[in-house]
Amino acid sequence: MSVISNELDEDNQNNFKAEQYNKNEDFRDTLKEVILKKYTKASIGKVYEAFGKGILLVGIYSPFDSASKLVKSEVALLKELEKYEHRFKEIFFYNQKHQFYRFCP
């Protein structure tokens, strides 16, 4: 009986890991969309033209990722942002405790 339950437990763990991975990827896709919208938003473009580069603050409220981890792991997002006009001199991610982590210069 314990062999069967161990196999079931292993299957459940693998399913949980796959679901968690999908949620992480979904969250990262959403994060990318939010930041790219800020880069391309017309009203932010007008502020940029009038006042120059600003600072973008992005709240990270996810049980699947943390602001400090995302700052280090989102290299692909940084490369994507290089394609756009640099409207922000700095981007910070922050968490529920309002701890700020610098994402890019």
pLDDT digits (tens, 9 = 90+) for 38-64: 888 999 999 999 999 999 999 888 777
Do 93 and 105 form a contact (C-beta atoms < 8 A)?
Answer: no
Which residues neighbour 34 within 8 Å (Cβ) at sequence distance 6 or greater? 58
**16 to 3, 23, 30: CA distances (angstroms):** 20, 10, 21
Report the domain count for the chain.
Answer: 1
pLDDT band at 16 (very low <50, low <70, confident <90, very high): very low
Do 65 and 80 form a contact (C-beta atoms < 8 A)?
Answer: no
Residue 20 one-letter amino acid: Q
Domain encompassing residue 26: 2-104
